Amino acid sequence: MPELRVHNLTVTLDGFATGTDQRLGAPFGDGVDGLHDWMFAAMRDRDEGRSGIDVDQIERSERNIGATIMGRNMFGPQRGPWPDESWQGWWGEDPPYHHDVFVHTHHLRPDLPMAGGTTFHFTDEPIETVLDRAFEAAKGRDVRLGGGVATVQRYLRAGLVDELHLAVVPLLAGRGERLLDNLGEGVEGYRVAEMTASPAAVHARLVRR
């Protein structure tokens, strides 16, 4: 059966996936400089034909994905009502998704078709409904769940995530948003299925029990 998967979700050694004061010039906030260095290096290695543990994780994240779900904070830095509809995401005219992307937001706007086959759908529906829509759009393939932290936590608390890949990097943030805080019994439904380490990150794969 198709699955809901989270990939490349990077956290500091003390568990923070973002720092403080997220904004246009600092999408992940302050205090987390270098958080995704492992990922950028792995993508360069892959493009240059090199392999490795980090490259394997990047490649795994792209296999058999037919739709994506994300939160408003991952789509853009704005909060509250849209000042206008000129913001089209961080990724330029041809986003890297090339499929339907469902954006959780309390402030709806029309669907946004982009080059390369990506269409952003803005929804305030319950997470179960959005997941059903994403599975339908994926046409038998898996659905990827992106950030931000609050969005992933909602799906974890509901026990809807089938696979969660965490990359733990050697940084300390001290403040920001911790991924695994306030999950209650939701986290008890998961187990660590695999752990591997590169010089840049420790990769943990959690799956439902």
| pTM score | 0.95
Q: Is CATH 3.40.430.10 correct for 4-16+32-75+95-208?
A: yes
Confidence check: pLDDT of 119 > 90: yes
Give percent of the chain above pLDDT 90: 89
Answer whether residue 39 shows pLDDT above 80. yes
Which residue type is seen at 46?
R
Per-residue confidence (pLDDT) for residue 115, from 0 to 100: 97
The average pLDDT across 44-50 equals 97
Collapse the DSSP code of 84 into the 3-class scheme (helix H, G, I; strand E, B; otherwise coil) and give the result: coil
pLDDT digit string, tens, across residues 171-188: 999 999 999 998 877 788
Instruction: Map out the domains of the chain as residue ranges.
Output: 4-16+32-75+95-208
Digit-coded pLDDT (tens) for 156-165: 999 999 999 9
Please give the sequence-ordered ranges of beta strands (E in DSSP) within 96-201, or none if there are none. 100-104, 112-113, 119-123, 142-145, 163-169, 177-178, 190-197
| Residues contacting residue 68 through CB under 8 Å, at least 6 positions apart | 97, 99, 100, 101, 102, 134, 143, 144, 145, 146
